[in-house]
Amino acid sequence: MNRFAKQVAMAAALVMCAGTAFAEPIVGLWQTQEDDGAYAHVQIAPCGANFCGTIVKTFKAGAEYKSENLGKQLVRDMAAKGGGAYEGKVWRPSNNKIYMGKIAVNGTAMKLSGCVAGGLICSKQDWKKIK
């Protein structure tokens, strides 16, 4: 392998390692807190420059069921603010409203809040990371 090829290989390896080292803590599969007798599994992934979370499974009375909300975005356009903090929007299926959202991720725990009135009135949930 010539010197140029070695440098390209080294640069590619560094980029791959950096991507893994700086992976956002919000990315993954999360279980929501129960809301109106149901909960969901939400897959959070990059969407453009920010992060979005899509409902991939729904549960009621402890059993999986096919909700009309499957495939819908619950977490929308969350921008990383550093230190596990994110800001964007959240959708609440039970009343079909979109709220200003904030997320704080700490390991496998997430605190999600949806707020109105400029953040004066908020509803909060605790989510746990499944994988």
Q: Which residue has the higher pLDDT, 13 or 37?
A: 37
pLDDT above 90: residue 10? no
pLDDT confidence of residue 2: 57
Q: pLDDT-derived band of residue 120, with 50, 70 and 90 as boundaries? A: confident
Global confidence as pTM: 0.78
Q: pLDDT-derived band of residue 62, with 50, 70 and 90 as boundaries? A: confident
Q: CATH number of the domain at 25-129, please?
A: 2.40.128.520
Q: Where do the domains of the chain lie?
A: 25-129
Hey, what are 102's tokens?
Answer: 């904030």
Q: What secondary structure, in 3-state letters, does the chain show?
A: CCHHHHHHHHHHHHHHHHHHHCCCCCCEEEECCCECCEEEEEEEEEECCEEEEEEEEEEECCEEECCCCCCCEEEEEEEEEECCEEEEEEEECCCCEEEEEEEEEECCEEEEEEEEHHHCEEEEEEEEECC
Q: pLDDT-derived band of residue 3, with 50, 70 and 90 as boundaries? A: low
